[in-house]
């Protein structure tokens, strides 16, 4: 347990090493990219465009809903309090696992998995994978920077989200 605490403290100190008002504003913007409303908008876009509706919408939405339900269950099960550090935004639920990290991994990993199965153009597949990976990573890092999650919360969220996306999309 001491090793985990040491790792979490190191990750937080590395994440906030260059804390500044501009970086804080950027991290707040990034974290909002991963909010529920942003995820809902992306899902609505998937439903609105015929090609995306046919190839993506059901599995992506199922992944996101599954991640949200599992996240709520896990938060209540573990009941881990949020970090007792400088919190730059306010969150009310428990800390473990990170809901932002879990939902966004489920969302973007599902999009990536389906893209690799449905699209033919390798450049498009690589582009979607790169953008999705960057978004998942920076949203997770923003949660640590803003002081509302430990790095282990984020890592667990990513792991659970990836597993859900894989299970839902493996036969897409």
pLDDT tens profile 69-113: 999 999 999 999 999 888 888 999 999 999 999 999 999 999 999
Q: Which residues are catalytic?
A: 100, 149
In this prediction the pTM is 0.93
- Picking from 110, 124, 132, 133, the residue whose alpha carbon sits closest to that of residue 55 is 110
CB 100 within 8 A of CB 152: no
* Burial tier of 73 (Cβ tally within 10 Å: 0-12, 13-18, 19+): exposed
Is the pLDDT at 172 greater than 80? The verdict is no
């Amino acid at each position: 347990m001491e090793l985990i605490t040491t790792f979490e403290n190191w990750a937080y100190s590395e994440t906030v090493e260059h804390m500044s008002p501009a970086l804080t504003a950027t991290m707040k913007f990034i974290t909002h990219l991963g909010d529920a409303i942003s995820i809902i908008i992306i899902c609505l876009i998937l439903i609105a465009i015929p090609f995306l509706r046919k190839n993506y919408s059901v599995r992506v939405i199922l992944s996101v809903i599954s991640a949200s339900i599992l996240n709520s269950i896990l938060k209540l099960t573990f009941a881990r309090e949020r970090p007792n550090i400088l919190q730059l935004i306010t969150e009310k639920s428990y800390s473990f696992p990170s809901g932002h990290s879990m939902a966004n991994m489920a969302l973007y990993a599902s999009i990536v998995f389906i893209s690799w199965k449905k699209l033919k153009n390798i450049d498009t597949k690589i582009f979607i994978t790169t953008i999705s990976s960057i978004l998942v990573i920076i949203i997770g890092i923003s949660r640590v920077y803003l002081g509302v999650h430990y790095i282990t919360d984020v890592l667990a969220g990513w792991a659970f989200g990836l597993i859900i996306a894989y299970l839902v999309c493996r036969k897409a």
